[in-house]
Copies of this chain bind each other. A is one copy, B any other.
Amino acid sequence: MEPIRIHDADDSRIAEFRSIRERDLTGREGRFIAEGTVVLRMLGAAHRAGGDFCAEKILLLENRVAGLTDILADFPEDVPVYVASGAVLDRIAGFHLHRGVLALGRRKPERAVTELIADLPQKALVVAAFGISNHDNIGSIFRNAAAFGADAVLLDQSCCDPLYRKALRVSVGAVLSLPYAKSGTASEILTVLTEKDFAIWGLSPRGGVEIRNVPASDRMALITGTEGEGLPQDVLSRIQTARIAQAPGLDSLNAATATGIALYEIAMAQRRL
């Protein structure tokens, strides 16, 4: 598979990479931009596994090609690899792309949250995120969920798209490896989790149990809300709450760190690590 050189930023073969900073904020029929070596490797693994994701094309800075031989070998021959000089690449992307590694991926139509829950094993850990509009936070939820072996991530319809370029990067590609679904309201997701016998936990400064002491259940769900405000009262009233002990009088932990601590404790309680 010989890389194909692109000399002109207006070349139609790389049109999907043009001005990605603006474009990746919009829906494109399941298409998304993967950026950087780590995410490219995860896209290759996902493509090979034949699951929800495949790669359509790759665009690289010319001097990156040699160092990526192993990763590129993971993609089938019919995924074209384009290369360009730094000047042409920056004109294509619309900004200085110092990483120099881009791919266009596509995901199959998503399942609904209810379908994903129905497919989970009897012993399960899921993370459900409600109202997360920040791409960094969505990415870090996936990164932590993957690190601690969660089975799935459930997003309500008000969360942002985890396939957005920055979310994908912050997740270190975990969005491509961890089953997820995004549909319905927070209330609907809580109803399904309850019906399916999940012990549902969320963090609150006034939580009833220290997170280290949360009792294990076969099926556990951790709910995460927006940084700053935390989970709304109508959610808190329907779940069990845990606290993370902290020094008095301080601003709370960063949302990603708090979720990481909670997932570590719950996964340890379930003996899944």
Which residues of A pack against B, CB within 8 Å?
38, 140, 143-144, 146-149, 172-174, 212, 244-247, 250-254, 256-258, 260-261, 264, 267-268, 273
Partner of A247, one of B38, B146, B250: B146
Interfacial chain B residues near A256, Cβ < 8 Å: 254, 256-257
Find the B residue at minimum CB distance from A143: B254
**Pair A251/B140 contact, Cβ less than 8 Å:** no
Find the B residue at minimum CB distance from A271: B245
- Within the assembled complex, what's the spacing in Å between the Cα atoms of A268 and B245? 8
Partner of A261, one of B172, B261, B273: B261
- Say yes or no: A247-B261 contact (C-beta < 8 A), given A143-B254, A256-B256: no
| Distance of A115 from chain B, by nearest CB (Å) | 24
Partner of A264, one of B38, B147, B254, B261: B261
Interfacial chain B residues near A254, Cβ < 8 Å: 140, 143-144, 256, 260
| Distance of A229 from chain B, by nearest CB (Å) | 15
Interfacial chain B residues near A258, Cβ < 8 Å: 260
- Within the assembled complex, what's the spacing in Å between the Cα atoms of A93 and B204? 38
Find the B residue at minimum CB distance from A264: B261
**Pair A257/B148 contact, Cβ less than 8 Å:** no
- Say yes or no: A38-B251 contact (C-beta < 8 A), given A147-B246, A256-B256, A257-B257: yes
Interfacial chain B residues near A140, Cβ < 8 Å: 254, 257
Find the B residue at minimum CB distance from A256: B257
- Say yes or no: A253-B246 contact (C-beta < 8 A), given A212-B268, A268-B212: no
- Within the assembled complex, what's the spacing in Å between the Cα atoms of A260 and B143? 15
* Most chain B CB within a 10 A radius of its CB, from A174, A212, A245: A245
| Distance of A142 from chain B, by nearest CB (Å) | 11
- Say yes or no: A253-B212 contact (C-beta < 8 A), given A245-B273, A268-B245: no
- Within the assembled complex, what's the spacing in Å between the Cα atoms of A174 and B254? 13
- Within the assembled complex, what's the spacing in Å between the Cα atoms of A38 and B254? 14
**Pair B268/A146 contact, Cβ less than 8 Å:** no
Partner of A147, one of B144, B247, B273: B247
Interfacial chain B residues near A260, Cβ < 8 Å: 253-254, 257-258, 260-261
**Pair A147/B252 contact, Cβ less than 8 Å:** yes
Interfacial chain B residues near A149, Cβ < 8 Å: 246-247
Give 15 A-B pairs besides A257-B261, A260-B261 with Cβ atoms closer than 8 angstroms: A140-B254, A146-B250, A147-B251, A147-B252, A147-B253, A148-B247, A149-B247, A173-B251, A212-B212, A245-B268, A245-B273, A256-B256, A256-B257, A257-B257, A261-B261
